[in-house]
Amino acid sequence: MERIEKETTYQETRKVEKGDFAAAGQISASYKNMLKRLGVDSKVVRRLAIASYEAEINLAIHTFGGSMTITVYPDHIVLVVKDTGPGIADIGLAMQEGYSTASEQVRMLGFGAGMGLPNMKRCSDTFEITSELGIGTTIEMGFLLTP
């Protein structure tokens, strides 16, 4: 994360509020449009859009709020998703397909299938998640831009 690259082409940070379902999807949609405009391969755009959508939904459903930062480098993209808690007690369990603590109300909307984190991992080329209870969770995903 501390890696500094000189030729950053673009960086943008946006906030996601707790419980804001109506806005969910706006950030991933804007990423998609931006990356398409930049001429990024459509398969990569698609993977990043899916991963960022799941991240956006998780911030709204599971956290006290957070932010998403996308950085576009000449040969790769980094997406950092950070929240201010509550943190994840058992990351191994959270990563399991089908595991979810989503509320009944959230499930009624079709979320909470427990596929968000596995989806993010599957869609990204590199995936790192760190979490501390009472502090928050950070997910860093990398996407390679092959010419």
Partner 1 sequence: MTVAQLIEPLELTLLTPQTSLEREVTGGCVCDLLSFVMARGDAGMAWITVQTHLNVIAVASLHEFSCVIVAEGSAVEPETLAKATEEDIPVLRSALSEYTLSGRLYALGVR
Give residues in contact with ligand ADP (CB under 6 A). Answer: 58, 61-63, 83, 86, 88, 94, 99-102, 111-117, 137
Selected range binding partner 1 among 3-11, 47-55, 82-90, 134-142, rule: CB under 8 A: 47-55
116 makes contact with Mg ion (CB under 5 A): yes
When the beta carbons of 28 and 112 are compared against ligand ADP, the nearer one is: 112
Q: What DSSP string runs through 23-54?
A: TTTHHHHHHHHHHHHTT--HHHHHHHHHHHHH
For the record, the structure tokens of 138 come out as 């950070």
Q: Cβ distance 66 to 139 under 8 Å?
A: no
48-107 residues in contact with Mg ion (CB under 5 A) are: 58
Looking at residue 101, its amino acid is T
Footprint of Mg ion (CB under 5 A): 58, 116
